[in-house]
Structure 1
Amino acid sequence: MDNMDFSAEDEHALRQFMPSSFGKQDASVNVQAQIERCRRPIVDERKQATTSKKDSEDDKDSDDGSDEDDEDEEDEFPVSHELLIKTHDKAVTSIALDPSGTRLVTGSTDCTIKLHDLSAMTPTTIRAFKTVDPHASKSSAPSETHPVHQVIFSPHSGGQLLVLTAFPQARLLTRDGDLVKEFKKGDMYLRDMHHTKGHISEITSGAWHPTNRDLFVTAGTDSTLRIWDVNNSMEQKDVIVHKSRSAGSAGRTRMTAVAWGSPVQGGNNILVGAALDGSLVMWNGDGPYHRPAGEIRDAHVKDTWTSGLDMSADGRLVITRGGDDTIKLWDTRKFKLPVTTVAHASTSSQYPTSNIKFSPNSSYVITGSETGHLHILNPATLRPELITPVTPGSPLITVNWHPKLNQILTGSANGQTTILFNPQTSHNGALTILSKAPKKRHLDDDPNFTTDIDPLGMAGDAVAPGGLPSAAAGTFSSRHPTIGLTASGKSRDPRRPHLPATTPFAKNTPDQKFVNESIPHSSMRDEDPVEALKKYATKDKLFTKAWEESQPKAIYKDYDSDDEEERHAAKKARR
């Protein structure tokens, strides 16, 4: 057999054909390529619009340093890349991230909140791991749902989630979406709002206390701000009634937004609320709340919804976004006239939760617009530093700038949540997702080839010869991550015993636990009255203290029962 000479090209082709090693191979992840796919085509729309004009004027005088300066300006804000999350069917009204930046919660007008775990997502599995209906376990009718106005993580540990809907009762959930407490609803037939134990109408906004992890405040359409303690859900801790001077004899108006200033950086503890009558009211955060520390009657136009309200990190500046198409900056040390006012189209008439936020270090102000653009403003002049399109044609409702991740999150009217970031200055969050290998798609991931049996039909139905329940043999549903879960996210396990349907009478009948928690000393109904009175007489004299000092003096001789019987027996003997 003749000798065959192999060239270098043949050897290279052979190595490409033959495997270099055997066994299971680790799939390498090209992180840079995945991040590059998320690069945004348009970062600053203003610069792109003026590029053609500037190019003709600066062709002669341009140098290499000008391009570097433009890149440095763009890198200042985390907006060069984006990651899209589409888990809601309707407008996203609120976005919350826990302090660590791993748990993302979004609220929507579809009356649900979605829980996302940023540390467990991959580029091909960007979805919510749990869907929660805040009113699913409420004592009212199961069909009653309300749009979500605001979701707020506790700023200290992130272990508690405050959920505010278009309903008078606030709800406290765990970070996994489980209900902890539902706070009290007030009596709507009481005229004085100081005497009600909770809101009597819809809650519009809320905020946690900046330093006390047990306190939060809610603003309602009943013209009140109510401060709550998480340890007591039956009654608010304090009530602040805003008496409007332009609302006629009733003196009531709707509170549209509230913010609680932080004294961490040297400022005062201040509570600020905005009302529908156009006023902006400030109170001392530690109380007393009988009289406001400052009030501006015509901060915004009357009967316009001031949806955006936020305070700077030092507690000295207040930014408001009104329904009168203006953004105004206020100084709490001179709470009379706005420091700066600029025009900005409002979306609060259609989306009353449209907000405005200071950046973590209060060096910038961010807000959305009706055209779907993100506006980053200079807080001194309120002039735009950057205008970037996020969801063009769909209003941008809510924004949030996380301090630890250095990433901006936005929620739009089309149900899209967008995470804006910069690989050079941002940390974790979206970068954690993009640093993982895409999950390989399985046959079960395609709903066209997979069916699921209704788990409720498997509980008590007879099994057909084919292995399917007879009642559910023709009933299939598409495979979905939330299949087999209730509205609150709990499992529909067919092995659990069937609970009878709750009748309307049973819904309105309080159980023993509710009676013990709401009615003081209700547990004494099961005690013997004589023994109970003796017990309290020997301890704190709860029921006999009234006669301790005013007990009348006996005039006649007090006979014992035994002596009385002997006396009557002696009388009968004499007769």
Structure 2
Amino acid sequence: MQVDNDAFSAGDSMPTSFGKQDASVNVEAQIERCRRKIVDERKQAAVKAPASDDEKDSDDDDSDSDEEEDDEFPVSHELAIKTHERAVTSITLDPSGTRLITGSTDCTLKLHDLSAMTPTTIRAFKTVDPFVTKASQTSETHAIHQVIFSPHSGNQLLVITATAQARLFSRDGEMQKEFKKGDMYLRDKHNTSGHTAEITSAAWHPTNRDRFVTAGHDSTVRIWDVNNSFQQKQVIVHKSRAAGSAGMTRMTAIAWGPSSEGNGTIIVSAAFDGSLVMWGGEGPYHRPLGEIREAHAKDTWTSGIDISADGRLVITRGGDDTIKLWDTRKFKAPINTAAHPSTSSQYPTSNIKFAPNGQSVVTGSESGHLHILNPATLRPELVTPVTPGSPLIVVNWHPKLNQIFTGSANGQTTILFNPTMSSNGALMILSKAPKKRHLDDDPNFTTFMDPAGMAGDAITPGGLPGVTAGSYSARHPTIGLTASGKSRDPRRPHKPEQTPFAMSTPSERHVRENIAFSSMRDEDPREALLKYATKPGEEKVFTGAWDKTQPTTMFKDYDSDEEEREVKRAKH
């Protein structure tokens, strides 16, 4: 049997996809609807400007190169997710790129499953309040500063809120540990078991999955072990040398990355006094490897910091409207400096990141534009609008998906991608058929669409897997309820109201996991002492000397009980 090699290489005899196909789905049309109208504003401005004859000739020659530049970055298409009510302050994805979690100033976490979304169900499948758990429910609400998936596995999620305690969650939004808070009345910060003021930033160890570092307002950097939530493993106190600071300053951002030698790690942190400090990731910590006192202007918030994959470069975005590039091998002066308007005064978590290949730097701007810079010159290679008029706060370039995720002040999360360069993620969503609604379905319990046409949250009679009752009522407090607040479904059990006493009373699980030696509270004191009693035939270790030194008791003997009672009456 002869095979036509030309036809085989062209793909005429090979299927484009496998499994059951839906002929009604036009994937190319769905992807084309996500194409962005404006990719690079610099080219739009160049087209509007009048050009001379020589420039026209050069434009014709460079037309092919411009088309190639458009495909250099995955920004040709976009997909928007509108779930938060306020500004998105943090975005993280697991290493596989299937689980997306966003944090916001509305004090909630939104969990998105990119593999389960469809074009009409682009929404979060779960909403989590870090302060409302099964163990304890409180009325506290704090903004989310940072949410970070462990780079080693997608099972650990580090959540930093506007408090002095870091929290560890599972990928499904269940809180696993709450790390201890230190004693704010102790002057020496080395003696406290945790942060005594608000934590501002955190970072995972590049190779050790059990280590992470936090920086806070108490002028300390603390290294933690995920297996010990009662005390940090190491405390680094940053002594500020700025006048009038009394040796204390707020730490604003921190990063943990590989060293340039390739045999260790480095920790780089920025402070409110304008300094930039670098320590060895494995110690010793009593003296930094390098310190730059005036890296940025004093009393400005350096919100973004990142270390390149080879550990040679450090990029910072300061509150003094500058972006600076540093060399860790000559940690004294910046290599390059570029002007860039800062949004850290209003949004302290505005970040800056190296691209996965290290050949670009990506960050947002106050005007809602995405800036992709050249790391050597810090000049913009691409400037494209994402949410015009609304500041772009956080960016995240996933290496496996090759897609850029952005969070804006209007609560929108945007996925930028390119069909030829990217894989999975947004492309997986657009490759599915829109979810159809049955005629008998109650719209209160199926897909809910907001007036803007963006998919909102969905409610199902049984609830989605992993959705707690607290998140259900928080997202849709009135759907499926009568005017008096009772459920329309007679099969749904009545949920008793929680009294203030129950809200302030810790549960058994909370006490067992967060209070050391709490198991001894339920132990009988007599049984606890009898555990150390000697058995017949064993030598007494602790009380053996009493057998020889203990005096013999002598009591008077009576012939009868009546005689004994008469003697007692006589004494009285």
Alignment partners' CA distance in 2, 1:25 and 1:280:
56
Alignment partners' CA distance in 2, 1:352 and 1:286:
28
One-letter amino acid of the counterpart of residue 262, structure 1: P
1:87 to 77, 83, 90: 83
1:369 to 365, 368, 375: 365
Question: Structure 1 residue 557: deviation in Å?
Answer: 12
User: Contact (CA 8 Å) 1:264, 1:314: kept in 2 or not?
Assistant: yes
1:526 to 501, 504, 524: 524
> Structure 1's 290 and 565: CA in aligned 2 closer, same or farther, altered over 3 A?
same
Partner residue, 2:348: 352
Residue 240 of structure 2 corresponds to residue 244 of structure 1: yes
Alignment partners' CA distance in 1, 2:340 and 2:235:
33
Question: Structure 1 residue 53: deviation in Å?
Answer: 3.5
Give the match's secondary structure for 1:348: coil
2:221 to 214, 219, 225: 225
Partner residue, 2:154: 158
Partner residue, 1:481: 458
Question: Structure 1 residue 398: deviation in Å?
Answer: 0.3
Alignment partners' CA distance in 1, 2:496 and 2:175:
20
Taking CA–CA contacts closer than 8 Å with sequence separation of 6 or more, which of the two structures ends up with the larger relative contact order? 2
Alignment partners' CA distance in 1, 2:514 and 2:161:
25
User: Contact (CA 8 Å) 1:247, 1:253: kept in 2 or not?
Assistant: no
The equivalences for 1:458-537 within 5 A come to 481-482=458-459, 485-488=468-471, 501=498, 503-504=500-501, 507=504, 514=511, 518-520=515-517, 523=520, 526-528=524-526, 530-533=529-532
Question: TM-score with structure 1 length normalisation?
Answer: 0.79
The farther-off stretch of 526-535 and 242-251 is: 526-535
One-letter amino acid of the counterpart of residue 356, structure 2: P
Residue 272 of structure 2 corresponds to residue 276 of structure 1: yes
Alignment partners' CA distance in 1, 2:440 and 2:187:
59
User: Contact (CA 8 Å) 2:138, 2:503: kept in 1 or not?
Assistant: no
Alignment partners' CA distance in 2, 1:566 and 1:146:
72
2:406 to 400, 405, 410: 410
Give the match's secondary structure for 1:288: coil
Sequence identity percentage: 68
Unaligned 5+ segments in structure 2 are: 1-19, 447-455, 475-486, 558-572
> Structure 1's 514 and 119: CA in aligned 2 closer, same or farther, altered over 3 A?
same
Residue 107 of structure 2 corresponds to residue 111 of structure 1: yes
Alignment partners' CA distance in 1, 2:339 and 2:513:
55
The equivalences for 1:382-401 within 5 A come to 382-401=378-397
Superimposed CA distance per residue, residues 185-218 of structure 1 (whole angstroms, 9 cap, x where no aligned partner): 1122222211211112211111111001011111
Partner residue, 2:567: none
> Structure 1's 522 and 134: CA in aligned 2 closer, same or farther, altered over 3 A?
closer
User: Contact (CA 8 Å) 1:134, 1:488: kept in 2 or not?
Assistant: no
Partner residue, 1:66: 62
The equivalences for 1:90-239 within 5 A come to 90-137=86-133, 142-239=138-235
Number of equivalent positions: 505
CA RMSD in angstroms, aligned pairs only: 3.5
Alignment partners' CA distance in 2, 1:445 and 1:147:
37
One-letter amino acid of the counterpart of residue 212, structure 2: F
Alignment partners' CA distance in 2, 1:481 and 1:559:
80
Question: Structure 1 residue 160: deviation in Å?
Answer: 1.1
Give the match's secondary structure for 1:137: coil
Partner residue, 1:321: 317
Question: Structure 1 residue 96: deviation in Å?
Answer: 0.6
Question: Structure 1 residue 142: deviation in Å?
Answer: 2.9
Superimposed CA distance per residue, residues 14-49 of structure 1 (whole angstroms, 9 cap, x where no aligned partner): xxxxxxxxxx99543211111111111111100110
Partner residue, 1:458: none
> Structure 1's 135 and 247: CA in aligned 2 closer, same or farther, altered over 3 A?
farther
Question: Structure 1 residue 499: deviation in Å?
Answer: 6.2
2:376 to 371, 375, 380: 380
User: Contact (CA 8 Å) 1:326, 1:342: kept in 2 or not?
Assistant: yes
User: Contact (CA 8 Å) 2:87, 2:106: kept in 1 or not?
Assistant: yes
> Structure 1's 63 and 522: CA in aligned 2 closer, same or farther, altered over 3 A?
closer
2:256 to 257, 260, 275: 260
Alignment partners' CA distance in 1, 2:531 and 2:232:
31
> Structure 1's 181 and 499: CA in aligned 2 closer, same or farther, altered over 3 A?
farther
Unaligned 5+ segments in structure 1 are: 1-23, 453-478, 570-575
Superimposed CA distance per residue, residues 499-528 of structure 1 (whole angstroms, 9 cap, x where no aligned partner): 674545983678597378634597296344
The farther-off stretch of 51-60 and 269-278 is: 51-60
Question: Structure 1 residue 52: deviation in Å?
Answer: 3.5
Partner residue, 1:341: 337
Question: TM-score with structure 2 length normalisation?
Answer: 0.80
One-letter amino acid of the counterpart of residue 210, structure 2: D
User: Contact (CA 8 Å) 1:107, 1:149: kept in 2 or not?
Assistant: yes
Give the match's secondary structure for 1:351: coil
